[in-house]
Amino acid sequence: MSKTGKIALLGGALFCAALIAMIAEPKEREAPPVTEISSGEADLDRIMLLGGVDLDANAQVALLLHEMATGEGLRIVTDRSALKAAQGKAYYTDDPGAQTRLTLMSILFLSPPGTSPRVPMATLLVDGAEVAQYTCFSLHCSGEGQYGAHHRRDLAGLIAASRPATSKHVFFDTADAAWAAHDALAARADVVLAPRPEWPARGAPYLDHRIYMRPGAMLMPVGDDGAPPRIDEAAFEARFRAAFLDTFPQGDASYRFGRMQFDYLSNALGWRVVTPDGTPLTVGAEPVRLPGWGAAQPRVTLRATREMADRLTAPGALDALPEFGEEPPELAADIDALVARATGAPCPSCYRIEMDASAGRTTLSGVEQVQLYLPYYLIEKEAP
């Protein structure tokens, strides 16, 4: 065997030995404060529910119990006295060490798990915000098989105090309607507000539209690697924003810029040459292609009020912006020469390349209305 082969075998053996050692003796891990217990052959973590939670605060407190805890779907505890009685008592065991060993074994045998091995046991909500989520290694908390044989739990009366619940959500076109519904739901005893995306402050302008635009592209020859060179993106974005703000003053926070993105376009086969109406130019059955050119196409998204969206999407509104793209005269010359060689009939400006980019004016590429999303849990009556 060659020296190289021996080194490769030795390296593989050392890797396997190290991996087996990791499986047999897992290293210390960073974890939330838990109580270490010993049960049979497993070293388990005791996870205490409601630890460190101020249950005397003037807030809506709810504990969601997920299917792994209830065995029958989502249930909710809102009874403050039941929550206080369970605090410091309700627990379940977890086995993250077994989870780590199982994951390493699956990697060793090239069969990593397709889904997360952890599942939620409970979620604590305070005034609709998620304060804590309690999860568990699913094979352990199921209480079945070799991984679940030593699972223990005592939910200290929380199941008995819980009620069945259903996840609901509603959408709103205006912030005023959304806040009014929020306040009405928050006042109901059979509703628990759920975590929601950030909303505009009460009374603040609501930027309820997304506007997608494409400033003019920078057409350029590709480099030796076949790709267009990178442009100074920060300088281009600053120039566009300054011109846009000058043309469309922001006023009362009527719009907000998103981050500008850039698509770098190239085609190893060359771009198809087409007529002004988009008909491909062919010789025989083969399309005529122009190689050696690429583009940097900017894209920008605005969040805008309905009024500003109407203004920006009016016909010709974006024509007030200066042109930002560049199309070198060499491109037209290359197209002209290519058409002359292919057809014998040069015609300046009669043809262009079919590319998803344009060096012309800023164009509107899409508009969509953004609705406000309000999720909540509806507490149901127990089934008879």
Tens of pLDDT, residues 350-381: 888 898 888 889 999 999 999 999 999 999 98
Backbone angles phi, psi at 237, to 5 degrees: -65, -40
Mean of pLDDT over the chain: 85
- Position 103 confidence tier, pLDDT thresholds 50, 70, 90: low
- Position 34 confidence tier, pLDDT thresholds 50, 70, 90: very low
Sign of CA dihedral 218, 223, 225, 226: positive
Would you say residue 41 has pLDDT above 70? no
Higher-scoring residue by pLDDT: 4, 292:
292
- Position 107 confidence tier, pLDDT thresholds 50, 70, 90: low
Which pLDDT score, from 0 to 100, does residue 298 have?
97
Query: Which is nearest to 46 in space by CA: 151, 146, 120, 116?
Result: 151
- Position 309 confidence tier, pLDDT thresholds 50, 70, 90: very high
Query: Which is nearest to 42 in space by CA: 154, 148, 155, 153?
Result: 148
- Position 24 confidence tier, pLDDT thresholds 50, 70, 90: very low
pTM of the model: 0.68
Which pLDDT score, from 0 to 100, does residue 116 have?
64
Higher-scoring residue by pLDDT: 98, 239:
239
Higher-scoring residue by pLDDT: 302, 342:
302
d(CA 36, CA 118): 19
Would you say residue 198 has pLDDT above 80? yes
Which pLDDT score, from 0 to 100, does residue 242 have?
96
Backbone angles phi, psi at 184, to 5 degrees: -65, -40
- Min mean pLDDT across 3-17, 134-148, 334-348 is at 3-17
d(CA 381, CA 353): 66
- Position 262 confidence tier, pLDDT thresholds 50, 70, 90: very high
Which pLDDT score, from 0 to 100, does residue 52 have?
85
Mean pLDDT confidence for 2-13:
46
- Min mean pLDDT across 2-6, 89-93, 337-341 is at 2-6
Q: Which residue has the tokens 């804590």?
A: 132
> Do 362 and 320 touch, CB atoms closer than 8 A?
no
Would you say residue 243 has pLDDT above 90? yes
Would you say residue 37 has pLDDT above 90? no
Query: With pLDDT > 70 as the criterion, what percentage of the chain qualifies?
Result: 85
Characterize 13-26 residue by residue with b for buried, 16 or more Cβ atoms within 10 angstroms of its Cβ, and e for exposed. Answer: eeeeeeeeeebeeb
Which pLDDT score, from 0 to 100, does residue 160 have?
94
Query: Which is nearest to 313 in space by CA: 227, 191, 210, 239?
Result: 210
Please, which residues have CB within 8 angstroms of residue 82's CB and are 6 or more apart in sequence? Answer: 157, 158, 161
d(CA 151, CA 109): 27
Which pLDDT score, from 0 to 100, does residue 140 have?
86
Backbone angles phi, psi at 129, to 5 degrees: -100, 140
- Position 29 confidence tier, pLDDT thresholds 50, 70, 90: very low
